[in-house]
Structure 1
Amino acid sequence: MKLTVTGTGYLGATHAICMAELGHEVLGVDISAERIAALNEGRVPFHEPGLADALTRSLATGRLSFTTDIAAAADFADTHFLTVGTPQHSEGRSADLSQVHGAVTALARHLHGRHLIIGKSTVPVGTAADLRRMLNQLTGPDTTVDIAWNPEFLREGHAVRDTLHPDRIVLGVAPGSTAESTVRDIYARTLADDGTPFLVTDLETAELVKGAANAFLATKISFINAIAEVCERSGADVTQLADALGHDTRIGRRFLGAGLGFGGGCLPKDIRAFASRAEQLGATGIPGLLGHVDEINLRQRRSVIDTVTDSFDGDVTGRRVSVLGVAFKPDSDDIRDSPALAIAGSLSRSGAQVTVHDPEAMGPASRILPELGYAPTPLDALRGAEVVVLATEWRDFIDLDPVAARDVVDRPFIIDGRNCLPVEAWIGAGWDYRGMGRRF
């Protein structure tokens, strides 16, 4: 099939490349000439395991190309994926839909005949209905545009697999729409090879699925972090408690890892937008619940900052702090709403001398916080440190030799912000170890 993908950020570039991997002819579209040039040259503008190799393969087949010409996209295909960003609005918690409206308006001006727009961006419920009304006003009598919604469920660090082998495909359609058959054809290989569940809903339900999923995951993470506080105050161990909870099939162990909490470009802004839209609709439960979830999540960062400050008797001025990790999660260079970077930045602003290391995210971080020190290796970051904060659970950090690390610091005091280190080995090497909600 011939497909276009409008928006080549993290979601759009991944989707375009993976659709070409499935055998389709794909044209990616974006207003950023720099990003389009990079992709056409085989360079992925962000770190995502496996994506660069997939881009190289797809470009070589001739099935994939990228352009800034939206008119070319309208001529290229009659099926168009919408993958532009929906960031948090600068004046509140709601989603900023300006990129969605701009992309649809630009595309609509060039459409003739029958077309299908398939939304993948995470949007407030009711957006598809608004776009249908927009399209009716923007297109001529010779043009019919159907709207469907196919939410994305990508995990950074696993995006290629999540696109090619998703755990479910959700499609929202309007009454009388023929989009289902088209979307089944697009994902035919995935459906045949993996037996992936294909769930067809109304548009409103499909729009809610991603936000609801993220709201639930965020709630689960903040729940275990709230429990971690109880564990710290009572002498219990949150990791053992989470293991016990995880054996309950109604609960499960995943996302019950106490630590610095969630960040990134999706969960924080999505739960705020979800709560904002619920409030607009007059629903009272979700805004209150997610407000507390967000508050608990942000409090975890403050807790680590307070622990560092207390270890210096309340004043970090001139003290040497090492922060291992600035990306919001491992296998990513994404620093958006990163707890690790927020902690490093806050300590630096309080007067600490902060040195960081991250395998992938130091470039993006240095553009945001150039005042931090950026070390080429983990041991270089630790050299002379008086406090070490493990803030992102990269394998490089988990596998650090605690004896070698002990030899380069000035004071062996470590805060394991992800509860990922082998505790006995670090304590045995002479470290003062502090976990999140643990006895140590």
Structure 2
Amino acid sequence: MALKITVIGTGYLGATHAAAMAELGFEVLGLDVVPEKIEMLTRGEVPMYEPGLEDLLRKHVAGIEGSSGRLRFTMDFKEVAEFGDVHFVCVNTPQRHGEYACDMSYVDSAFGSLAPHLEPGALVVGKSTVPVGSAARLAALLPEGTELAWNPEFLREGFAVNDTLHPDRIVVGVGSERAEKLLRDVYATPLAEGTPLVVTDFPTAELVKTAANSFLATKISFINAMAEVCEAAGGDVAKLAEAIGYDDRIGHKFLRAGIGFGGGCLPKDIRAFMARAGELGADQALTFLREIDSVNMRRRGAMVEMAREALGGGAFLGKRVAVLGATFKPDSDDVRDSPALNVAGQIHLQGGQVTVYDPKGMANARRLFPTLGYADSALDAVRGADVVLHLTEWREFRELDPAELGAAVSERVILDGRNALDPALWRDAGWTYRAMGRPSA
């Protein structure tokens, strides 16, 4: 008999996972407790921007003409428990307000609501990023005859559909051969394509995501620390990154200096990791992550000061500042902990007249920072600007015509907060180009 899949929580992770499971051929039932979200998904619409996700959803949501009909949504935990053989828990684990630790209330609520209805033989699979030790605690909440597995997600915003259908690895923390077999059946297609499967215990599976994000954050903050040294010494961090990247033990990825990382994963994950290590008595092992976090946050202030310097070193009051980018990364509409919006907000609070443009993040940015100015295009954003800040590396911004923008600004000064633009192209069009960590470039 073919397995039936349920997905608890239909946010960014859950909606993607549900659509991908339907694409892999499974009958899927998704659950959420927010009626508006369920209504949107049932119409084949997604509440966030993610390339390819809405098309994939519409391909499978029941009731949409031409769909496979394999994907439905509900708010009823009893219906979910009766329907599914494998239940994926994909709810959010945000940072706890005023603390480093993560908020487990959504996970606890999902398990508490699902457990009383579970059928014997059901497998519950956690995908949420949780503090190590959570799985053992949650397993005790499940009724006899059911079991838990932990299967961390590794989605990159902007690439989530491909990362789910063609993952670079699958990690499963299991307590039995039966659980491993069920998950091998769920992931049979990517496994047949050659995706590596790592089978481990609960604690190791829980640690993989936070360890991976901590490593990536370390690499990003390392090159940003080198950018600070380059600023002081007159070096060029882009050339430095190129040179060390040829060492295959280091590699070139994640070595582009700029205003640092943000979003809903890296910042909160490294802080939750530090908090959990402290609870376990292993806090000294992760003290380096405090400096990683500190380097990252300093980059935002450094960009503000670079803008001040470009405007003559005085106050921002009365100065027009154009900001290209609002999301924390390109190919997303996610503005959570966005360095770009943080910089824009700081300059605005210091009296600058800030106008922002982003290809996909405008609605979310307006909700978060309603007092900033917003424009419908890059050209409109830079009109009359005394300085232009490039803060999210969208392809659209790399393809801008510097001459066209130059005709609209008050001063042809651009600060590249992502080291992603072509300096020669902008300088040839009469711009003063300055990038972080490259005072001599």
TM-score by length of 2: 0.96
Structure 1: which amino acid aligns with 2:230? C
1:155 corresponds to 2:156? yes
For 2:285 and 2:17, the matched residues in 1 are separated by 31
- 108-117 or 211-220, which moves further after superposition? 108-117
Structure 1: which amino acid aligns with 2:340? A
The residue number in structure 2 matching 1:107 is 114
- Deviation track 1:373-414 (CA, whole Å, cap 9, x = no partner) reads 111110000100001100000011111111111111001111
User: Once the 2 structures are TM-superposed, how far is the Cα of residue 287 of structure 1 from its aligned partner?
Assistant: 3.1
1:84-233 aligned within 5 A: 84-135=91-142, 139=143, 143-174=144-175, 176-192=176-192, 194-233=193-232
Runs (4 or more) in structure 1 with deviation over 6 Å come to: none
User: Once the 2 structures are TM-superposed, how far is the Cα of residue 279 of structure 1 from its aligned partner?
Assistant: 1.4
Name the SS of the counterpart of 1:170 in structure 2. strand
User: Once the 2 structures are TM-superposed, how far is the Cα of residue 281 of structure 1 from its aligned partner?
Assistant: 1.1
User: Once the 2 structures are TM-superposed, how far is the Cα of residue 317 of structure 1 from its aligned partner?
Assistant: 1.0
Whether the aligned pair in 1 keeps the contact of 2:8 and 2:14 (CA below 8 Å) is: yes
- Deviation track 1:21-43 (CA, whole Å, cap 9, x = no partner) reads 10001101000000010000010
Structure 2: which amino acid aligns with 1:152? E
- Deviation track 1:292-345 (CA, whole Å, cap 9, x = no partner) reads 000000000000011112333320012100000000000000000000011111
1:266 corresponds to 2:273? no
Name the SS of the counterpart of 1:230 in structure 2. helix
Whether the aligned pair in 2 keeps the contact of 1:172 and 1:200 (CA below 8 Å) is: yes
- Deviation track 1:13-65 (CA, whole Å, cap 9, x = no partner) reads 00001010100011010000000100000101100001011001011111001
For 2:265 and 2:30, the matched residues in 1 are separated by 22
Name the SS of the counterpart of 1:199 in structure 2. strand
For 1:7 and 1:133, the matched residues in 2 are separated by 21
For 2:119 and 2:399, the matched residues in 1 are separated by 57
Structure 1: which amino acid aligns with 2:316? V
For 2:137 and 2:177, the matched residues in 1 are separated by 16
For 2:53 and 2:4, the matched residues in 1 are separated by 21
The residue number in structure 1 matching 2:314 is 314
The partner residue of 1:14 within 9, 13, 16 is: 16
Whether the aligned pair in 1 keeps the contact of 2:210 and 2:269 (CA below 8 Å) is: yes
Name the SS of the counterpart of 1:259 in structure 2. coil
- 305-314 or 70-79, which moves further after superposition? 305-314
For 2:194 and 2:225, the matched residues in 1 are separated by 38
Structure 1: which amino acid aligns with 2:76? D
User: Once the 2 structures are TM-superposed, how far is the Cα of residue 232 of structure 1 from its aligned partner?
Assistant: 1.5
For 1:318 and 1:107, the matched residues in 2 are separated by 56
Q: Percent sequence identity over matched residues? A: 56
Whether the aligned pair in 2 keeps the contact of 1:276 and 1:287 (CA below 8 Å) is: no
Name the SS of the counterpart of 2:243 in structure 1. helix
1:47 corresponds to 2:24? no
The residue number in structure 2 matching 1:408 is 408
Name the SS of the counterpart of 1:262 in structure 2. coil
Name the SS of the counterpart of 1:178 in structure 2. helix
1:419 corresponds to 2:419? yes
For 1:303 and 1:91, the matched residues in 2 are separated by 25
Structure 2: which amino acid aligns with 1:104? F
User: Once the 2 structures are TM-superposed, how far is the Cα of residue 200 of structure 1 from its aligned partner?
Assistant: 0.1
Q: How many residues align?
A: 432
1:353-432 aligned within 5 A: 353-432=353-432
1:275-314 aligned within 5 A: 275-312=274-311, 313-314=313-314
The residue number in structure 1 matching 2:64 is none
Name the SS of the counterpart of 2:287 in structure 1. helix
TM-score by length of 1: 0.97
- Deviation track 1:108-157 (CA, whole Å, cap 9, x = no partner) reads 1211322111010000000000101222xxx3xxx422110000000000
For 1:177 and 1:64, the matched residues in 2 are separated by 28
- Deviation track 1:60-89 (CA, whole Å, cap 9, x = no partner) reads 111001111111101111210010000001
The residue number in structure 1 matching 2:235 is 236
Name the SS of the counterpart of 1:114 in structure 2. coil
User: Once the 2 structures are TM-superposed, how far is the Cα of residue 177 of structure 1 from its aligned partner?
Assistant: 4.8
For 2:113 and 2:136, the matched residues in 1 are separated by 18
Name the SS of the counterpart of 1:200 in structure 2. strand
Structure 2: which amino acid aligns with 1:254? K
